[in-house]
Amino acid sequence: MSAPARRPNIFICSSREALPIARAVKQNFDQEADVDIWNENIFAANRGYLDTLLNRASYYDYCIAVFAPDDKATVRGKKVNLPRNNVIFEFGLFLGRLGPNRAFFVAQEGTELFSDWKGIEVATFKPRDNLVAAVGGACQRIREEMAVAEKLEHFTMLPSTSLAIGYYHNFLRRVFEAFEFSDSFTIVTRDDRGNIVKETRHKIVNRRPTIHVLLPAKLEDLESNRLKDRTAAYKQVAVCTKFREFPFYIHGDVTKDAKKITFFDIPTTMLSSRIAIQRNFSPDFLARGDTASHLEEREIANFERTLRLMVPNEIENKYFEFSILKGTPRRSSAK
């Protein structure tokens, strides 16, 4: 069983005057995402707007800004209708944090846009009585871009993407290479003090062993004291090849059928995500509702998603699987 699918969350910013448009955009995405508009209890009492926005810019998966002709101005002798300054600022903040694949805007026809956007395709709409339908086309274009974004590696202030890339290149890929170019391997069982208590040598029959990645349900499960309880049903072993020693867990007696060995690994490197969350967000922000658990769930889901992007399909389909770290593992398809 892989990590449960999570709905993306979207932040919508707009001027107060353009709130009806923001609500229409929200209705277009409500069935597939958790959508928050800026005026829906986003800004906490006694906290600065900038501080809140800095936290929120790394909390959401996507941002959609509503650019409407809120303010009239004369620019270089030309009368224009401009979007509100703070909406432009908020869009820029989210654009910097999330990147161009995840920060979008819908622009009402007749709104003057900044020169940096000249020549770039823009999702525009023409207002009419039915605003939900009016912005539907623009929202569909954004939806299509979101689908593309889900197929790309996503780098943020939090490290799950980089951790997954390192985990694949420095561990999983090296395991596959080691078995491909070795004729046999040795399983070394150690006690709690690290002393070798048993060594068994096995001929490599299948060049691609099954690697079962046990993802934590919560990042705190990777803390050493909790991890020991979670892995009580497994045996810690070290697979020694001519390249290097690879630490793994196994379940059951591997000597009974060496041809069908499944190795289990727990990516404890993900504990860095928990530390990063605690360091990058203000304590009062993390203490609100399920904010901290949401960020942890997103890191776990993104780690898995990035691994799926990294591992070639011919390997993933047969030799690479996911489970949640809880009790005895259950076999599942990676797809």
> Does residue 125 carry a pLDDT above 60?
yes
Q: Which two tokens stand for residue 319?
A: 């030799």
Band (45; pLDDT cuts 50, 70, 90): low
CB 183 within 8 Å of CB 204: yes
**How sure is the predictor about 15, in pLDDT bands with cuts at 50, 70 and 90?**
very high
Question: Among residues 102, 153, 172, 144, which one has the least CA distance to residue 305?
Answer: 153
Tokens of 6: 């999570």
- Residue among 90, 40, 56, 67 at smallest CA distance from 138: 67
What pTM was computed for the model? 0.81
Specify the pLDDT at position 144.
Answer: 95
pLDDT of 202 reads: 72
Q: Which of 16-25, 188-197, 257-266, 323-332 has the highest average model confidence (pLDDT)?
A: 16-25
pLDDT over 70 (residue 259): no
Q: What pLDDT does 141 receive?
A: 95
Q: Which residue has the higher pLDDT, 90 or 186?
A: 90
What DSSP assignment string belongs to 134-177? Answer: HTHHHHHHHHHHHHHHTTS----SS-HHHHHHHHIIIIIHHHHH
Give yes or no for residue 331 having a pLDDT over 80. no
The pLDDT of residue 196 is above 90: no
| pLDDT score, position 247 | 79
Share of the chain above pLDDT 70, in %: 85
Name the residue among 190, 218, 197 with its Cα closest to residue 324.
218
Flag whether pLDDT at 253 surpasses 70.
no
Question: Which band of pLDDT confidence, cut at 50, 70 and 90, is reported for residue 230?
Answer: confident
Q: What is the pLDDT of residue 117?
A: 73
Is the pLDDT at 240 greater than 80? The verdict is no
Q: Mean pLDDT across the stretch 59-86? A: 91
Q: How confident is the model at residue 187 (pLDDT cuts 50, 70, 90)?
A: confident
Q: What string of H, E and C letters represents the secondary structure of the chain? A: CCCCCCCCEEEEECCCCCHHHHHHHHHHHCCCCEEEECCCCCCCCCCCHHHHHHHHCCCCCEEEEEECCCEEEEECCEEEEECCHHHHHHHHHHHHHHCCCCEEEEEECCCCCCHHHCCCCCEEECCCCCHHHHCHHHHHHHHHHHHHHCCCCCCCCCCHHHHHHHHHHHHHHHHHHHHHCCCEEEEEEECCCCCEEEEEEEECCCCCCEEEEEECCCHHHHCHHHHHHHCCCCEEEEEECCCCEEEEEECCCHHHCHHHCEEEECCHHHHHHHHHHHHHCCHHHHCCCCHHHHHHHHHHHHHHHHHHHHCCHHHHHHHEEEEECCCCCCCCCCC
Least confident span in 198-212, 264-278, 288-302: 198-212
Q: Which of 152, 122, 134 is nearest to 310 (CA)?
A: 152
pLDDT, position 199 = 79
* Structural domains present in the chain: 9-149 (3.40.50), 160-324 (no CATH)
Whether 174 shows a pLDDT value over 90: the answer reads no
Average pLDDT, stretch 292-301?
Answer: 94
Section 73-84 average pLDDT: 87
Nearest to 262 by CA among 201, 304, 213, 221: 213
Please check whether residue 112 is in contact with residue 80, taking contact to mean a CB–CB distance below 8 angstroms: yes
> Does the pLDDT of residue 283 top 80, yes or no?
yes
pLDDT, greater one: 225 or 96: 96
Looking at every residue in the chain, the average pLDDT score rounds to 84
For the cut 80, the answer to whether the pLDDT of residue 313 exceeds it is no
Average pLDDT over residues 79-97: 93
